Amino acid sequence: MSEARPLWHGRFHEGPSEELLAFTSSLEYDRDLAADDLTGSRAHVRMLAKVGLITGEEEQALLDALRQVGEELEAGAFDFAPTDEDIHTAIERRVTDIAGAAGAKLHTGRSRNDQVALDLRLWLRREGRALVAAIQGLQEVLVVRAEEAEDAYLPGYTHLQRAQPVLLAHHLLAHVWAFARDVERWRDTLTRTDVSPLGAGALAGSSLPLDPDAVADELGFATRFHNSLDAVSDRDFVAEALFAASLTQVHLSRLGEEVMLWSSDEFGFVQLADAYSTGSSMLPQKKNPDIAELARGKAGRLIGHLAGFLATLKGLPLAYDRDLQEDKEPLFDAVRTCRLALQAMSGLLASAEFSVDRMRAAADAASSAATDLAEHLVRAHMPFREAHALVGGLVRQSVERGIPLEELVTNEPRLGPEALALLQPGEAVRRRTSPGGAGPEPVARQLEEARSRLAEQRHWFGHEPDDR
């Protein structure tokens, strides 16, 4: 049995067993909540003084002790006790050591249940914004690279088979819109995170004249809880953040997959900078896209965190259950991993060199213009199905008999010589003129739209991209 007494020693004859402490402690990872725990406690103390539950001197003694604890933690000089089962008990124990009788009033009207929910919301409010800044940083890189790409084009693929040429800018911007949806999702998630649970107590509120609105105000929350049972058992904001992080990571994974394909010798569309590539310990010639691979690989872990945490939540009766302690590790890991992946992929893409000649050569095959040939016939009033079959027949003959498509097109009376112009290099991409399409005109408009979306995002979050 341990010597030190836990906070709840009054009801117990003996202290906690080693096994209990080893199994139930969350201190190893919830230390990351220390700063938020101190922030929450300061607001709680001010509220206690405001409603007259502690005196002005007690308030000052508590605030001083909290500051000292903050300094000790910061300096690595904080002595953790074996009975500190989490950061909240550790801090309260130390505040009581320092402030004596006033310290023993810190937890007045508060439970770790509302306290831990508060801390986690404070943590996510800050770290979620930092993650959004990293998404915006990556979007910014993609937009700049899209602008620089000018009229470069490459094959667009379906089924990973060459389909129709698209501007490189169009391809890069496609990812910008996926990340724009992530930013919207994070905005929504962080709105629901922005609710103060402090004042819910263990589950039912308090007989003391607490003022949850004052605490919510002081901490800059948009609002406070409506129902104390819900306030301490709600972890929707964690599940939502895990989903938002998973989907952001899935988008990074898909982008990473393209980096892997494009940087292979087989495609040769992009060269990665040395600083964003790794070598092989055995094969001297290798230059590997490990960042892209890990962006893909870590998506699996994040999806696991989401699925695991939903499984944790699904059977829990109201209100707090200790199972909820399982919220922190997946959340911390998902948010941090995703942010690191965003930053690494931003650097990789900002420094990559696109091989636009290789892209153009791959896109200039005459068969890339097959759809344009069919649409040429459609303009002359041939039904599309018939036009599709006719052009498909020419492509088949070209493949089977080794005749250049150009020759077959010239000799096909229903197509005629002006159809030949459609097979000129770059023609197929220049002809993609419909709104949101892959050609120069719609892409120029799209670039403006992307730019103004980024400005709108900055306005929502009130920060510049990745202003760490």
> End-to-end CA distance of the chain, in Å?
45
Phi, psi dihedrals of residue 81, rounded to the nearest 5°? -100, 155
Q: Which is nearer to ligand ARG, 258 or 321 (CB)?
A: 321
Of 231 and 363, the one with the shorter C-beta distance to ligand ARG is 231
Determine the distance from the C-alpha atom of residue 171 to the mean position of all C-alpha atoms in its chain, rounded to a whole number: 21
Distance CA 238, CA 120 (A): 9
Q: Is 171 a catalytic residue?
A: no
The two three-digit tokens of residue 14, written as one number: 């003996």
* Helix segments in 76-150, DSSP class H: 87-99, 112-148
Q: Which is nearer to ligand ARG, 113 or 164 (CB)?
A: 113
Report d(CA 256, CA 288) in Å as an integer: 12
- Least Å distance, CB 468 to ligand ARG, is 27
Strands (E), 263-417: 270-271, 353-354
The torsion angles phi and psi of 4, rounded to 5 degrees, stand at -65, 155
Pairing type for strands 223-224 and 270-271 reads: unpaired
**Cβ distance to ligand ARG smaller for residue 30 or 140:** 30
Look at residue 246 and give its three-state secondary structure. helix
Q: Cα–Cα distance between 110 and 4 in angstroms, integer?
A: 23
CB of 460 to ligand ARG, least distance (A): 31
Nearest distance, CB of residue 323 and ligand ARG, angstroms: 9
**Cβ pair 87, 34 in contact under 8 A:** yes
Cα gap 68→8, rounded to integer Å: 24
Least distance to ligand ARG, CB of residue 196, Å: 17
Q: How far apart are CA 362 and CA 48, in angstroms?
A: 70
Q: Specify the residue, 112 or 339, whose C-beta has the smaller distance to ligand ARG.
A: 112
For the bound state, the minimum distance from the C-beta of residue 151 to ligand ARG, rounded and expressed in Å, comes to: 56
Instruction: Enumerate binding residues for ligand ARG (CB under 6 A).
Output: 26, 30, 86, 88, 112-113, 116, 320, 322, 324-325
What is the nearest approach in angstroms of ligand ARG to the Cβ of residue 113? 5
Cα 82 to Cα 270: distance, rounded to the nearest angstrom: 54
Q: CA angle at residue 329 from 326 to 335, to 5 degrees?
A: 130
Integer Cα distance of 26 and 5 in angstroms: 18
Which one of 17, 264, 280, 452 is the catalytic residue?
Answer: 280
Tokens of 227: 């129902």
**CA 94 to the chain's CA centroid:** 36
Q: Which residue, 329 or 375, has its beta carbon nearer to ligand ARG?
A: 329
DSSP 8-class letter at 278: B
For the CB of residue 76, give the shortest distance to ligand ARG in the complex, in Å. Answer: 22
**Beta carbon nearer to ligand ARG, 88 or 107:** 88
Residue 414: alpha-carbon gap to chain centroid: 53
Q: How far is the CB of 276 from ligand ARG (least distance, A)?
A: 38
Using the minimum distance from each CB to ligand ARG, give the nearer residue, 59 or 86.
Answer: 86
The residue type of 253 is S
Is 159 an annotated catalytic residue?
yes
- Per the residue annotation, which of 159, 226, 381, 459 is the catalytic one? 159
List residues with catalytic annotation: 159, 280
